[in-house]
Structure formats: C-alpha cells, structure tokens
Amino acid sequence: MPGADGEIAAIETIRRALPTPPAGEVWIGDDAAVVAVPQDGRLLLAADAIVEGVHFDFELVDAADVGWKALVVNVSDIAAMGGQPLQALVTVVGASSSMIDGLARGLAEAGAAYGCAIVGGDLSAGPCLVVSVAITGSSAPRDPVLRANARPGDRLFVTGPLGRSAAGLRGLRSQGSGQGAVPDDLAAAYRRPVARLAEGRAASASGASAMIDVSDGLGIDLDRLATASGVGVVLDAVPVAQGATAEDALGGGEDYELVFAASDVDAVMGSFAAAGLRPPILIGACVENPTTRRLGDEQLAAAGWEHRLG
C-alpha cells in the first residue's frame, strides 16, 4: 500500500488526470464532495465493484483498462434507466504505486467519454486490486425506465449483437497460450466495453416500458426483467456478433448492450434514427404467462456467468 505520503501522491496523480470542478462545486480533497443535483428532484444511484482474479486478470488487461471498465459498468447501469451519468466516487483497494497512473488514466478517459465527473473516493491497502465505483445520474426530463413495467404484447429489442466480450476473452486467453492473434475489435469489446448511453436515452424517449443492461448474459438478464415485470418472454432469435458463438451471445455477459421492452416498434425505430443511432434489433415479445421463457422452440435458460473468471 502507498502509506500516508504515498496515498497523498496517489490522490494527486488522480486529481491531475481529472478536469477542474465548476464554480460552486468541491471535488476531491474535502471530507465530502459538494455537487449540483438535477432540477427535477430525482437522482439515480448505482454501485459496482470489479475485483482482480474475479472480474479481470492482469495477464489480459492493463490498469488503464481496469479503470475504464470500473467506470463504464456503472455508466451502463445509468444507461439502463434511460439516464445520464453525473458524478462518480471511486474507492481503490490494493493498488500498487505503479498501477495508480494507469487506473487514473482509464478512469479519466471513461469520465470524459461519458460526461461523468469523478468527484471523490478513497485509497486503501489490500491483498488484491478492488475498484469500487458509485455513480449518480439523472433521467430528467423523463421518468427512469425500471425493469418492472414490461407488459404482455410489448416487443423486445437489443441494441446490438451479443457475445463479443466473451469471444474477446476467449481469444485473449488462447493468444496467451500461443494460439494466434485475437481480432482487435473483440479484444477491445472485452477490455474497453462501451456503455449504450445514447441508446438508453433513445429507448426511453420512445416509451420503453422496461430496460436492463446485458451484464451477466442475455438469458439471466432477460429473466430478471421478465420476473420483475411479471411477464413471460418469447424470443425469435438472438443476434450473435461476428466471431462469437451462440453460447457467447446467450450466456457470455459483459456485452453491456441494452435490452428493452416497448409497445410501439415505429416509435422505437424513429427515436433511434432521429438520434443517429444504429437501429435496435427486434428479438421477440413479452407474453401473458409469467413462467414462459422461450427461444424459438427451445427453453431459454436463465443462464449467465456471474463472474467471468470466478
């Protein structure tokens, strides 16, 4: 661990990698940060930790990738509410001095990419690297899109083909054991996942009734949405990304595409087109029977990898 002087130096490193707070706000350096909050009086709050040896492995990613991913998985939670991220707090446990620069760079890059200010946090010793991020966001001017309001008859959409992250991870592992190069886009899907922020806003604007991000795998995440809403789901097909397998697409997880339900297909397509986004893929529909989980003629398993390296 850095120790008192090391901790101060590390905090300075992180502070230098970040922009300056606007007038009236206080970020890193006091007991708490002071920030402005949404005018609609509602705030979104989420937190996710990523853990060395469970969610990532330094054979396959570097510290900047870890910083990026730790923030992006949280931005994705805000995206899944149809929201916009505002601020993040980051606690880092078990970082060596040599990791701090990379972590700060990855966090700052993700913060800049998604318009999310890193306003505070904590550094501590520990036996392995744990990066825990808490994030705030706003869905204004619209209501947040919950998991629980899908209705029978709603159509189901996903914002992109699935399985790229799982295929990237498999490729990186094979490469590590000497078996050929992994395509850059698959490696990037695993190392630098993208949060579908604009897509979440577009889905919300088009009247999406329920939404979730595909973090643990389509099977398990869609089961969560259906269970929360008390509906069944029938999928026609699952879009498999180039280079991925059907199993990657269904159970691989960490794609961070959004799955959502909406009643008006034209409104959805219009909203995505108006935002200049790739059209979402229609994959199925919600049905009355709350126990139905079907993919074509097969049972859709609520399977997913809770922890990819666990």
In the range 203-262, which residues lie near a copy of itself by CB under 8 A? 211-213, 216, 220, 228
CA distance 196 to 63: 23
Structure token pair of residue 246? 């059907």
198 forms part of the interface with a copy of itself (CB under 8 A): no
CA distance 223 to 242: 25
Judged by beta carbon, residue 149 or residue 206, the one nearer a copy of itself is 149
**Residues 65 to 104 in contact with a copy of itself, rule: CB under 8 A:** 76-78, 80-81, 83, 87, 89-91, 93-94
CA distance 200 to 202: 5
Which has the closest alpha carbon to 15: 128, 101, 113?
101
Pattern 2-21, binding to a copy of itself, x per CB under 8 A? -xx--x--------------
Structure token pair of residue 41? 């009086």
Judged by beta carbon, residue 10 or residue 286, the one nearer a copy of itself is 10
29 forms part of the interface with a copy of itself (CB under 8 A): yes
Judged by beta carbon, residue 120 or residue 252, the one nearer a copy of itself is 120
Give me the least distance between CB of 31 and a copy of itself, in Å please: 4
How far CA 106 is from CA of 73, 102, 187, 247, in Å, comes to: 13, 6, 16, 30
CA distance 26 to 183: 43
Judged by beta carbon, residue 80 or residue 187, the one nearer a copy of itself is 80
Judged by beta carbon, residue 172 or residue 212, the one nearer a copy of itself is 212
Give me the least distance between CB of 184 and a copy of itself, in Å please: 29
Q: Candidates 67, 102, 111, 120: give the one binding a copy of itself (CB under 8 A).
A: 120
265 forms part of the interface with a copy of itself (CB under 8 A): no
Judged by beta carbon, residue 88 or residue 182, the one nearer a copy of itself is 88
Pairing outcome for strands 210-213 and 258-262: antiparallel
**Residues 33 to 62 in contact with a copy of itself, rule: CB under 8 A:** 33-39, 41-51, 53-55
Indicate the helix (H) or strand (E) that contains 190: helix 184-191
Q: Please, are residues 212 and 221 in contact by the beta-carbon 8 Å criterion? A: yes
Query: Apex CA 297: angle with CA 292 and CA 298, to 5°?
Result: 70
Stretch that binds a copy of itself, among 28-36, 166-174, 180-188, 248-256 (CB under 8 A): 28-36
Residue by residue, DSSP assigns 277-308 as PPPPEEEEEEES-TT-EEETTEE------SST
Give me the least distance between CB of 174 and a copy of itself, in Å please: 24
Give me the least distance between CB of 2 and a copy of itself, in Å please: 9
Q: Candidates 119, 203, 214, 233: give the one binding a copy of itself (CB under 8 A).
A: 119
Q: Please, are residues 258 and 204 in contact by the beta-carbon 8 Å criterion? A: no
Pattern 128-157, binding to a copy of itself, x per CB under 8 A? x-x-x-xxxx-x----x-xxx---------
Structure token pair of residue 115? 């318009």
Give me the least distance between CB of 80 and a copy of itself, in Å please: 4
User: What amino acid is encoded at 67 in this protein?
Assistant: G
Pairing outcome for strands 117-124 and 84-93: parallel
Judged by beta carbon, residue 139 or residue 271, the one nearer a copy of itself is 139
Judged by beta carbon, residue 6 or residue 207, the one nearer a copy of itself is 6
